[in-house]
Amino acid sequence: MRTIRRITLFVLLTVLTQFGGFVYLLNGYLFKKWTLINRFFAFLMLYFMFLLFFVPLTARIVDRVPLPAHNSDFIGPANYMTIVLGRNYVKQDLYKAVIESAAVFGKKYPTAKITYLDAGFALSSWIPIIPHSGHNGGKSLDFGFIYDDAEGEVKRGSPSWSGYGVYAQEKLTNNQKKCFKENSMYGLSKYFALSTGKGEYKLNKRMTRELVQALHKQTKITKIYLEPYLKSSLGLKRFKKIKFPGCNSVRHDDHIHVQID
């Protein structure tokens, strides 16, 4: 039973964070004679040492850098678990494109703040960043939309804890109905919302459109994924980088997906 528990914890920590499983093994080796509670606190200490120091340094070897956690007025995570789990790493080309876009957008709309969701892990690409199929190489990043509150003022943050699962419209288009028939996982993201303040957030189409346009102008960004109806309703039909990822993906009317080659 103890062996099964250890294997389960190792796999779970590896899947969630990439490096957490290694830290778990190292902690067990270094502090195996300590009590369980002491080993737990030792694990936390080791984990955050790796997260804050060793992982960022090692990531640079494979050309990946962390997105800003709290030191930017223009961009930040939907929630800090993205940072704690080390899911905020991108290639430097994508980092530069995102920061430039955020600066341009932020100067025009200082009351708004761009919210990023999942990016990628810091190290190798052989561990997938669940539940995403295309975020393995540090070349992809998801953004939340821009929202207003009930009074029409810009409201920072996301209508769900994870940033996913709250869609621009509830009514399905014919294309989405087709996708649900072809792919039972198409609506998976709604199960990752966790909690929602849906009624407190209203999509700001103008600012969301301008955010997508700012990202589209970046030459390094080659693809932006949105649902076809949303591309149309946001007035973005003529923008060729904006594509529909297909029915084999998940819905893209709760977030903006960008990537580089």
* Residue 17 pLDDT exceeds 90: yes
Q: What is the pLDDT of residues 45-61, one digit of tens each?
A: 999 999 999 999 999 99
Q: How far apart are CA 209 and CA 236, in angstroms?
A: 7
How far are the Cα atoms of 18, 42, 136 from residue 22, in angstroms, in the given order?
8, 14, 19
Chosen domain end from 16, 41, 61: 61
Confidence of residue 191 (pLDDT cuts 50, 70, 90): confident
Considering the chain, what percentage of its residues have pLDDT values greater than 90?
Answer: 72
Q: How far apart are CA 218 and CA 224, in angstroms?
A: 11
Chosen domain end from 61, 78, 96: 61
Nearest residue to 164 via CA among 247, 77, 94, 86: 77
CATH code, domain with 148 = 3.30.1380.10
Rg over alpha carbons for the chain, rounded to the nearest Å, is: 19
CA 96 to chain centre: 17
Residues 107 and 184 grouped into a single domain: yes
User: For the whole prediction, is pTM greater than 0.85?
Assistant: yes
Mean pLDDT confidence for 233-258: 94
Report the pLDDT value the prediction gives residue 214, as an integer from 0 to 100: 95
Chosen domain end from 11, 30, 61: 61
Report the pLDDT value the prediction gives residue 126, as an integer from 0 to 100: 74
Residues 156 and 214 grouped into a single domain: yes
Residues 190 and 88 grouped into a single domain: yes
Residues 57 and 88 grouped into a single domain: no
* Residue 199 pLDDT exceeds 90: no
Report the pLDDT value the prediction gives residue 100, as an integer from 0 to 100: 95
| DSSP character at residue 230 | H
Report the pLDDT value the prediction gives residue 194, as an integer from 0 to 100: 79
Residues 136 and 170 grouped into a single domain: yes
Residues 50 and 78 grouped into a single domain: no
Residues 230 and 107 grouped into a single domain: yes
Report the pLDDT value the prediction gives residue 26, as an integer from 0 to 100: 95
* Residue 131 pLDDT exceeds 80: no
Q: How far apart are CA 228 and CA 225, in angstroms?
A: 9
Q: What is the pLDDT of residues 79-88, one digit of tens each?
A: 999 999 999 9
Q: What is the pLDDT of residues 23-46, one digit of tens each?
A: 999 999 999 889 989 999 999 999
Report the pLDDT value the prediction gives residue 92, as an integer from 0 to 100: 95
Q: What is the dihedral of CA 129, 222, 61, 46, to 10 degrees?
A: -30
Confidence of residue 2 (pLDDT cuts 50, 70, 90): confident
Mean pLDDT confidence for 204-210: 96
- Quote the domain boundaries for residue 197: 65-260
